[in-house]
């Protein structure tokens, strides 16, 4: 079933590539911080610029590594992910939007032997950071993203359980929250890395 779900997501990105759903070409580079021997977790992030700003602001903890790249990975990328991740937990850090939720579901499907945990924006994520997102920071979903919400809910994820009731309601109302909004609302980014280190 996992291969079928991953294939479905890949087709969705291909069919909606003119809009928000972007799949990186094979040669598009990843940004990687290799895990140390004591690293317990690796963050997979869809916003390299944000996640590296976060790490620079916090003096990245030794128990974390990073894999970061925009867009949906290629199936061939899965060949080297397990070698780098090993027995570590993979924490998915992304926007609260249909694109990143689909990428999270794809990683879980393609990396079925690895524990993939959602650390993306959710009620729990915002609560643990004591972060309030003003209404003006919310971004309207593009038409293809709106169309993806019921698909994600019915086919890919337990959506309400993944993002929480308030974020679920926002998605259903046609809005998303991006990581940039969280960093701006916090004023500092260090707590995000601290949260990843202790989750």
Total domains present in the chain = 1
pLDDT by 10s per residue, the chain, length 199: 588 999 999 999 999 987 789 888 888 889 898 888 888 899 999 988 877 766 665 656 677 889 999 999 988 888 899 999 999 999 999 999 999 999 999 999 999 899 999 999 999 999 988 888 989 999 999 999 999 999 999 999 999 999 999 999 999 999 999 998 988 888 765 567 666 666 5
Q: 3-class SS at 112?
A: coil
- DSSP single-letter state for residue 28: S
Contact 32, 81 (CB under 8 A): no
129: its two tokens: 């950071």
Residue 92: give the domain boundaries: 2-198
Q: Rounded to two decimals, what is the model's pTM?
A: 0.92
Contact 116, 104 (CB under 8 A): yes
For the domain that residue 111 is a member of, what is the CATH number? 3.40.1360.10
């Amino acid at each position: 079933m996992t291969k079928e779900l991953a294939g479905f997501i890949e087709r969705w990105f291909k069919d909606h590539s003119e809009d928000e759903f972007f799949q990186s070409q094979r040669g598009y580079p990843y940004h990687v911080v290799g895990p140390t021997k004591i690293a317990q977790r690796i963050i997979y992030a869809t916003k390299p610029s944000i996640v590296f700003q976060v790490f620079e602001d916090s003096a990245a903890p030794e128990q974390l590594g990073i894999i970061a790249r925009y867009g949906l990975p290629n199936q061939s990328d899965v060949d080297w992910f397990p070698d780098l991740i090993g027995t570590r937990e993979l924490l998915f850090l992304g926007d609260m939007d249909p694109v990143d939720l689909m990428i999270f579901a794809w990683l879980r499907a393609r990396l079925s032997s690895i524990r993939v945990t959602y650390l993306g924006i959710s009620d729990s994520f915002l609560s643990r950071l004591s972060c309030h997102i003003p209404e003006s920071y919310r971004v309207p979903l593009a038409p293809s993203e709106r169309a993806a919400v019921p698909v994600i809910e019915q086919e890919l994820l337990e959506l309400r359980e993944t993002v929480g009731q308030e974020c679920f309601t926002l998605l259903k109302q046609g809005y998303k929250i991006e990581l940039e909004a969280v960093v701006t609302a916090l004023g500092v980014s260090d707590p995000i890395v601290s949260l990843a280190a202790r989750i």
